[in-house]
Amino acid sequence: MKKDMSVLYPNTLDATRLATRQVKAGDLLIGSDFPIRLQTMTSTDTMDTAATVDQVIRCADAGADLVRVTAPGLRDAENLLSIHRLLRRNDCNVPLVADIHFTPNAAELAARFVEKVRVNPGNYAGRKKFETIVYDQDSYLYELDRVRQRFAPLVKICKEYGTALRVGVNHGSLSDRITSRYGDSPPGMVESAMEFLRIAEDLRFYNIVVSMKSSNPLVMVEAYHRLVHTMQEELGHCYPLHLGVTEAGDGDDGRIKSAIGIGTLLEDGIGDTIRVSLTEPPEAELPVCRSIVKNYACASKVAGQRLEVKPAGYAGGTKVRTNKILNIGGNSLPVVVADLSQTDPVTQKTLGEVGYDYDAETDKWNISNASADYVFTQAPLSFPLPGALGIVIPAEAWLRLGDRAQYYPLFDHKQYGTDGPVSDIVNFVMVPASLAAGFTDGLTDRQRRRTVLVIRIDKTTAPADCLQGIRPMQKIDGLPPVIFQHRPDLENLDEPSIACTAATARLILNGWKDGLWLVAPETGASLASVNQIAFGILQATRTRISGSEYISCPSCGRTLFDLQSTTEKVRAATSHLKGIKIAIMGCIVNGPGEMADADFGYVGSGPGKISLYKGNQVVRRNVSDQAVVETLIGLIKESGSWAEPP
């Protein structure tokens, strides 16, 4: 009997790493008995042999265990042999992965001389025209047979030559056949992969890695959990899993999205090889990969025999029911608390770093979309406050205040509940996760209606341990809101956004969505950057939208314009907009598909030419890349979504 996917399985928080088969790509072994393998993809023209070889060597020197190279046509696939030979002559033995879209003959050629081939089921034997097709059973079976005829020759070549194969499903490029029956959904992604796995297993070929990529981390997490469940139930074993958030973007946004998608799965025990898809040079992806792996405890765990998967849709995270106090808890959006406790003095300029800009001429505050809801300071502020801002201060300082308007005390749990004065509005109480359930259970009903719990996550309290400690609280009637406080580990300041995401995202995905309190470390990250990280985590988990979102692919040999500079130009012109999704894609491989999750799309259609999309429909073709940002702004204005920058 199949398991009910609507039930949360016990012991998932303590899961060991999912046991997966051993796969061999050249001399590299991939699977649950081996370390998490790191990989990236070249951005050079594959026909430029010297440039591609140089970039592969730089990636290998930066720590890549595998390097992927695009082969959009037969000539490119053929040139992979020259690239492979020149790398070996330069003593670079990193396995090469041929990346194939649309061209089975290129895959069949490349499989004869590279260590691994990646194919996308959505465009290897399918088509993407955004058509809804009605199939009867016979016509659907006919299409499946056509898929087999296209895919089986590649499987046989890989089997003959000892070449590994990645079945790489992309949410943005599912075939019309799959979406007509399953929708553009995680179940459709799983079925797309399983069709190819069934064919390979019929041919007794098992040297396979599978991926379920999406630009939406929540879709990605659900798709992998569904795939694991299906492989366990149908096949009786699991293939190694390649993790990645496709088109993650750049900067902190790309790192946060990647840490949410990849990191959450690693912490759940899922994942054997990872690639961080950043709109940055490929060698820059490797330090981010390493930072993600070291921030997630389960990445180093030994394999278990079987992993019990999470319920379908768990990444969407049904919110834990809590009281509403002011704008915290209940059905309110998550709040952000900015920690100013290390800043002395706190001035009007300081508040500018957390979203409040003071205009002396008008004596007014300008409030951004990413303005903190509360700030924590050691002492009262010496100037008039923005009306929307709440100030949290230590209980001892609060007790000495005359005018307590907008000020709220922070207690240690040992202080709170004694005979001393407390606020009649809201009291923030710091309590360890391990004691939170017992502490809350001991509060009176009146106290619960005036208490916000602050739970610290640090080196001694991993997210899994925190979840284990606070899980019993869900049974408490009138549960106070819960805010999580985290200071990035000083050892991980090379990637503070990843450290913060590792500590908090899994809690959010498990339904704890009342608020974040990130503490800027003494060195390495500014108040402004930490504030942006907090809002970035909430936006990437779809719990609070505070700005524009960018779905930006990494460069590869198919890219038709400079993605990095273009992304910077588009971001500079549109970052002030709230809730707009803009996709910036180098070519048509995943472009139109990812447009379905974006409001507007910007897709390379030829050298120096861009096609603009609204949703998945092209509305401007072959616009010069010199004028395209202005044309994009015009489209946004036509849709009624434009606002002038503040």
The whole-number mean pLDDT for each consecutive block of 10 residues of the chain, a chain of 646 residues, reads 31 65 98 95 95 98 97 96 98 97 94 97 76 83 94 98 97 88 92 98 98 91 94 96 84 89 89 92 93 72 56 69 96 96 93 93 88 96 91 96 93 86 95 93 93 88 83 92 87 77 89 94 81 94 83 59 71 81 68 64 77 81 81 88 82
- Would you say 353 is a known binding-site residue? no
pLDDT score for 594: 53
Phi, psi for residue 584 in degrees, rounded to 5: -125, 105
Domain 334-540 has CATH 3.40.50: no
Q: Which residues pair with 585 in a beta bridge?
A: 603
- From residue 643, alpha-carbon distances to 141, 372, 597, 637 in Å are 50, 21, 21, 8
Burial class (CB in 10 A: 0-12, 13-18, 19+), 344: exposed
- First vs last Cα of the chain: how many Å apart? 59
pLDDT score for 197: 98
Residue 248 to residue 74: CA distance in whole angstroms: 29
Write down the domain spans for the chain: 12-314, 334-540, 549-638
- Would you say 233 is a known binding-site residue? no
pLDDT score for 318: 82
Token look-up 């899980």 returns 471
How many beta carbons lie within 10 A of that of residue 14, not counting itself?
13
- From residue 188, alpha-carbon distances to 181, 194, 242 in Å are 8, 10, 18
- Would you say 594 is a known binding-site residue? yes
- Say which CATH architecture domain 549-638 belongs to: 2-Layer Sandwich (3.30)
pLDDT score for 115: 98
CB-based contact 553:601 (threshold 8 Å): no
pLDDT score for 13: 41
- Would you say 298 is a known binding-site residue? no
Residue 159 to residue 164: CA distance in whole angstroms: 8
pLDDT score for 10: 29
Q: Which residues contact 493 (CB under 8 A, 6 or more apart)?
A: 499, 521, 523, 524, 525
Q: Report whether the peptide linkage leading into residue 345 is cis, meaning its omega lies within 30 degrees of zero.
A: yes
CATH of domain 12-314: 3.20.20.20
pTM: 0.85
Domain 12-314 and domain 549-638 have a common topology: no
Burial class (CB in 10 A: 0-12, 13-18, 19+), 422: buried
What is the H or E stretch that residue 336 is in? strand 335-339
Alpha helices in 213-367 (DSSP H): 217-230, 251-258, 264-267, 285-295, 348-352
pLDDT score for 9: 27
